[in-house]
Amino acid sequence: MKSRSDIIQHSLFEAEPVPGQHRLFSGRAPENTVPRVEDRPAGLAAIDDLDLLRQTVLKCRQCCLREGARGVVFGEGNPKADIMFVGEGPGKTEDEMGRPFVGRAGQLLDLMLKSHGFSREEIFIANIVKCRPPGNRLPTPQEVEACLPNLMAQIRVIRPKIIVTLGALASQTLINPGLRVTRDRGKWFEKDGISYIVTFHPAAVLRDERNKKRLIWEDFGSLKRKYAELCG
């Protein structure tokens, strides 16, 4: 018979990810950075309602990021979205507002969405980590691993047909750790019945508009065509 901890471990790390999803980080987390698996909310894998999932994720304390953040930025949009955008993690403005992509990078994302006929109401926007890393640093592999069950649960509940990975962290975490955004942007990948497209993070575009703006624009054109093909 399975012990309680067996069941929790199974439900959080094996039943949770999208089928076929590889585990990316196998190294052990340093003591005190990531709480034990046994501490995780046991019900995540069983949740099939986005509001219930939100309530559960808002209570998440699986890594230290929550201590330095105002709150958990769950993500927002259509609970039945065909397209999901995944960024890196909340920045200062997102942490203050409790909403994803509402700072400068979010304004650029909004512009690109609108210019290609999409609205925030019809898509879903989430991040790899749900709490702001201090000083906007890159989340550590341990923080990503701790938070990934939350995103996997979102993907499982929303069941998007298309996922747009914004930047290296989202692309490498969700598609393939060997991806390079400069080389692989604009490419489509099929995994577990979902079509993924890699593109730049909007913040990277803001830092280098001359070289990246036209390219991200092309990627959104490709997204629009794929959406028409799959969902039109």
**Interface positions with ligand URA (CB under 6 A):** 87-91, 94, 100-101, 103, 105-106, 127, 203
Contact 27/141 with Cβ under 8 angstroms?
Answer: yes
Please, which residues bridge with residue 86 across strands? 126, 165
Query: Quick one: 146 or 168, whose CB is closer to ligand URA?
Result: 168
Query: Quick one: 47 or 203, whose CB is closer to ligand URA?
Result: 203
Query: Quick one: 89 or 160, whose CB is closer to ligand URA?
Result: 89
Query: Quick one: 103 or 160, whose CB is closer to ligand URA?
Result: 103
Query: Quick one: 12 or 108, whose CB is closer to ligand URA?
Result: 108
Q: Please list, residue by residue across 162-178, b when 16 or more beta carbons sit within 10 angstroms of its beta carbon and e when fewer do.
A: bbbbbbbbbbbbbbeee
| Smallest separation, CB 176 to ligand URA (Å) | 19
Residue 178 and residue 25: Cα distance in Å, rounded?
A: 13
The residue number whose beta carbon is nearest to ligand URA equals 87
| Smallest separation, CB 12 to ligand URA (Å) | 24
Q: Which residues contact 147 (CB under 8 A, 6 or more apart)?
A: 60, 62, 63, 65, 128, 129, 130, 131, 139
Residue 42 CB: number of other CB atoms within 10 A?
14
> Nearest 5°: phi and psi at 81?
-60, 140
Query: Quick one: 45 or 151, whose CB is closer to ligand URA?
Result: 151
| Smallest separation, CB 149 to ligand URA (Å) | 19
| Smallest separation, CB 122 to ligand URA (Å) | 18
| Smallest separation, CB 136 to ligand URA (Å) | 8
| Smallest separation, CB 109 to ligand URA (Å) | 9
Sheet holding 188-191, edge to edge: 76-77, 124-127, 83-87, 162-166, 194-199, 188-191
Q: How far is CA 188 from CA 15, 18, 179, in A?
A: 26, 18, 12
